[in-house]
Amino acid sequence: MRGSAIGLRTTLAYTLIMLVLPALVLAVEYKVTRVIDGDTLVVQKGATSLTIRLVGIDAPEVSHKKYEPGQPYSQQSTKHLAKIALNRSADVKSYGADRYGRILGEVLVDGNNVNLEMVKTGLAEVYRGTPAPGQDVGPYWRAEEEARKAGRGMWQLGDKYVSPREYRRMNLPR
């Protein structure tokens, strides 16, 4: 019991630090332990586990029902994120938290911006809402335009492409 209480306090301390100090790269190196979908993963350092929502991007929606495939390219997006990040060491640059308590962050693996990589491969688009304060989204828009012109990933769908935001509006309960 005592160990779990210490772990909980450590997790809360890291979360508070990441919320209070936006655009902060913690010197702590995390390990990516789980990929939830194409724009969300879990990192861990010791007893501290944080859910990271990749800031500045929006990946195709996975299904929350057992036998439904979800949005086109959702599975490819999730698999690609796992390929480039899972079980790897990562630094997290925090931009605060979202309404679900997840850390909004840029994840760097071997010095490479994982968020930007997802957009470059056409497996995520630039987030269409208000950008996180302090985040430079210019490289993201350039990467999306390049992926779209090259027909990479979800951009192969052409006129049949539906943004994750629109897909959620049409398919997910409110």
Of 29, 53, 106, 169, the active-site residue reads 53
**Residue-level pLDDT at 69:** 82
Average pLDDT over residues 99-109: 95
**Residue-level pLDDT at 151:** 98
53 catalytically annotated: yes
Distance from C-alpha of 159 to C-alpha of 155, rounded to nearest angstrom: 9
Average pLDDT over residues 81-105: 96
In 86-137, which ranges are continuous DSSP H helix? 114-120
Of 102, 106, 117, 125, the active-site residue reads 102
In the chain, which ranges are continuous DSSP H helix? 2-20, 74-85, 114-120, 138-150, 164-171
Lowest average pLDDT, out of 18-22, 93-97, 99-103, 107-111, goes to 18-22
Q: Which residue has the higher pLDDT, 66 or 127?
A: 127
CATH label of the domain that carries residue 124:
2.40.50.90
**Residue-level pLDDT at 5:** 53
Domain that holds residue 109: 2-171
Residue range 145-171, pLDDT digits in tens: 999 999 999 999 999 999 999 999 988
Tokens matching residue 124: 């995520």
Residue 88 — very low, low, confident or very high, per pLDDT cuts 50/70/90?
very high
Strand-pairing partners, residue 21, are none
Of 29, 61, 146, 166, the active-site residue reads 61
Residue 37 — very low, low, confident or very high, per pLDDT cuts 50/70/90?
very high
Residue 65 — very low, low, confident or very high, per pLDDT cuts 50/70/90?
confident
Q: What share of the chain is helix, strand, coil (3-state, %, to 5)?
A: 40, 25, 35
Residue 10: what residue type? T
Residue 66 — very low, low, confident or very high, per pLDDT cuts 50/70/90?
confident
* Counted domains in the chain: 1
